[in-house]
Structure 1
Amino acid sequence: MYKNSITVPIHNGIHTRIAAMIVHKVAELKSKYGVNLYIRNLSSKEPLAISMLALISLKIREDEIIEISCKEDSINGQKSVIDLCNFITKDMATNNSVLSKIDDIIEENTIAYEQIVENIPVGILVIDIDGYITVMNDYALKIIDKKANDVIGRYVKDILPTTDLTNIVLSKKRKVGETQYINNRLVITSKSPIFSNNKVIGALGVFQAVDELKDIVKKLEESEEELNYYKEELKRHTELVSSFDSIIGCSSSLKDCLIIAQKASQSTSTVLIRGESGTGKEVIAKAIHNNSIRKDMPFVRVNCAAIPENLLESELFGYEKGAFTGAIKSKPGKFNIANGGTIFLDEIGDMPLSMQVKLLRVLQEREFESVGGLTTQTVDVRIIAATNRNLEKMIEQNNFREDLYYRLNVISIMLPPLRQRKEDINLLAEHFIHKISNKLNKSVSGIDNKSLIHLQEYHWPGNIRELENIIERAINMCDDTIITEKDLPFYIVNTSPERSSLINLKNGELHPLEYYEKEIIALAMKKYKSYNKAGKALGITHRTVALKCKKYNINIESI
């Protein structure tokens, strides 16, 4: 065996163009002397037969010492080694400014390629035509528990006895999706020959551990769950978002709420939106989110009253596979999905006490455990809660935690019911007419004054949601382009005007208290026809109602 060491004087080292020129020179020398040449750098234990794969894999840099060798200890072997050394140190070292710029570009691409190969999360193994390893990335080295110096230049079966990568060179055919054991780990592998000018120059093997694929499958399943959730939310919210181009209303009470909401949107503090059902609490919550720095992140809605108590925890925090019967796969919770964004907890007053404790922890620590999970998960979520319940009264009755109430009630927004902002009814009616007419493909364009007066006089227990439903009903009933009285429900048209005062005066003077008590009891009995129902409406016992009826000679049968 004859060998000789040289220092590489080439700018940017032996990159693709230089490697191609060296390989071409080696082919000339083999034809002239009949000798195979090998190359090794100081970090390699074994020399590699000189080829494009070998030269690129060694990553030889400028001023690096390399060893050129041949297995024959003969005159021709010595001449072949010396000729190649002179070619590299003298002929290749000649500086050419144009080629130097090309070399810089090649070097940049080589560095990018190397970083991709090293950081890709699958094992990559490359052998030359003789079966010697030229490339093995970090993932592959980790699987076999070896260092690069221990494998580069070694025969592949000495490192991986179970591999058939050398057969790929001979058969010139790909193999995809096969399994094998590497260092006692089951992997899925694909193998393919490497061609240059229709000639096989080596083979490539790509593999990944099955246990890691299970984690990927789990993440894909979670991503699928999130995607399905977003699809449902998009479908549900498209109509909601389009129902208000902006929040409609000019009343001072609404404007006061919007000012608070606008300030809340610039903060990350918890918001509690209060108001009767149908007043637009979710619309305000969505507006706060859309005006915040989290607007590009998820807005996740949870109706605490609509989810059974035994399912609420898994819905909020997710669950792990096998956590309970039927949990055939893990599922992320709403807090996971809302991470980085906003979670809207609607009907928070209906949340059971057992869940209130766990929600309090999320508010305080921003962490939780999924059902059946062993690790603590941390989230960055902005919480907006809403309720139509009297939380203060619930605290007195021990139905709502006082500490949770104070955690939620940082920024409080009290939405007024529609009966307290009747100046907005006309604007809302016009908006709903335009929106619903387009949806139903009807030509209804307005509402007459008499119908508007009826809408103004109605007390609206269902608030804005009820108004929208009534307008939709009227548009369906309408045979013309204008909504009239005949298109409105009977109970709207027959609403009597509200009195300016709850108390009747006689010549400007008050009646005795018993007069008003008798009138109230009589009205209650006329409406409810039972002592029990009348008592509940008036806030007194049924026995008290019965005694008052006897006192004022109110006959339940004659009312």
Structure 2
Amino acid sequence: MLNTITQDSIRTEVTFRHEKGMHARVAAMVVHKAGELQNRYNVIFKVQKDGYSEVPLDSILLLIELRIKANDILELVTYGELANEASDEMKRFLEGGFSFGDPNAIYKIDDILQNNLLTADNIFKHIANGLVVINEKEDIIMFNSEAERIFGMSASSVIGKKILDVLPNSRLPQVVKTLKPEIAYTNRIGQFTVVSNVTPIMIDQSCKGAISIFEDITKLVHISWELNEIKELKEKYQLILETVQDGICVINQTGVITYINAAYQKICGESYENLIGKNVMEVAPKGNRAKVLNSGRKIIGGITTKSNGTQIIANVTPIIVDGRGTGVLSVVKDITAVKELVDKLHKVSAKAAYLEEELIRTKKIGPAFDRIIGTGGKIMDAMAIASKAAGSRYTVMINGESGTGKELMAEAIHYSSDRAGEPFIRVNCAAIPPTLMESELFGHEKGAFTGAYKTKYGKFELANNGTIFLDEIGEMDKNMQVKLLRVVQNREFQRVGGEETIKLDIRIIAATNRRLEDLVKEGSFREDLYYRLNVIPILLPPLRERKEDIAILVETFTKRICEELSKSKVTYARSVMDALISYPWPGNIRELENLLERTLLLLEGDVVTLKDLPSYVIEHMPSSEIQTAEIVEVSSGKVESWETYEKRIIEHALLQYGSCNAAGKALGINHKTVSAKAKKYHLID
């Protein structure tokens, strides 16, 4: 060996000539020759091939690892003062014929050596364990596939390098020095935890290197069913199978029942002993399990009747392991229980849907809807739709009779939307003459017609980014409907006399007290415009259909009117509320509000009675109710005797109900009492 190595070196291209390649015996001859020349010339030889690093030429294992074949081109690297002479002699040797005696005997030996070398090489490279081997100089001479996977390095990048340069924490050099093996120690390599054995390589009482064999512990966990985690998992699965309510049956590839759980025994009315070991091809050859076993196709929702009369629904699927059918799994449920569950689910779903609907109807929809008074179902439905519509940009059509609050609903939609800070423009289509409608809606340019002294902005332009409310849309002239259609469709228009197309970002709300469907049939309203406007229809019910809201409307209006008139608190006789509820209110809420304003303005005192109401309102009360009201109310402040009132009440009851028995039930007293009172006051004989 050299004591020192100079920087002098020479690189020479060499073509390896031996026709059998660098097999074991040839490699030995090359190592021998390299050692001889290194000693003679005081040099070091290394060789490089393909992607491998420089490999010492005096290591037989490294040379074999290079897999040099006949006519492979190598790069011979020679270090030392006499590198040129040594390189020439070594090149002649490598490119020589390697004649070693009897060719036939040599070829046989070569074949044996080569076959054994390839076999050993394949074994080492593909064993499940990782394998790293170094020589006595601590050069890596073997690095198999599992080592490549665990360390994340390729063999070609590490072969021939010093082990500590590649793996700084390796224990291989320590074992080479101490000659003491280290067995079954655990260490962490990146994301892997491995168990390693490191032993020295001893030949003729001399250490020639060390070998490390290591195994990924994770693999051991996966392949060992006896490990504690696997045992625990098996116990958990077993517990689940035994406690679920579904019946479970497993059969093997020949049709023999190998497992049933307790639920399956209960549902099918069979004991464990009567089922386990039976073959379904014999006991139920036409059943779902036999069909799936034969076809390999699953059956979902199969309904059958067992021998005990129980009707079951079954899901039967093949068990496939590694692409091969190994049996069948059947999961069954008593269909009676399923039906009961479905019935319960339907009831719960219906109840939930009802409660959700009621929640939507009754919850506080938003402050903008506070001005809309009422708690009845129809008005709450309308507000729920309006609240949802407020969150979109779609066109809304409000239908309702005059006085039902269409404009109030339109305002609530606008002020509940994200356009609340933008303009809300009202247009009463019935109040604008047809000749002025286009100018009112779209504006006009200066000089567009006689009298157009300046540019005028129309209602649509004023409402840009906000909402335009087109009230009484059914009264719009049909020619104007064509022009409106373009705005509704494209959100664009032109001023009268102008050529510029103005784009709009606008929310359109239309309203009508007429049935637009009838107008479409008559031909006075365009069908295409109707469908463009009627995207989200909202129906406001007339007051006669929401009489449950009259009391709260009266209370709200009364409070406001009294504040305006500086009146003290006003109350209403029961008969007055009955009269207001009986009246059909053709003018709807507006008529009710006007009536209360007039009544409270003229009221003397703080109690409203029937005499304070207009006669046309009272006339809609049943005559019996009017008579009862007249009996109960005290007129002109005069208090009469108790017997006078009692006589009137008994008389009225008899007139209305026709018998003492019916009158007594209505008055809440015994029919004998009614009869006695009637005779007392000479009302009956």
Q: If the length of structure 1 is used for normalisation, what is the TM-score? A: 0.45
Q: Which protein, 1 or 2, shows the higher relative CO under an 8 Å CA cutoff with sep ≥ 6?
A: 1
Q: Which has the larger radius of gyration?
A: 2
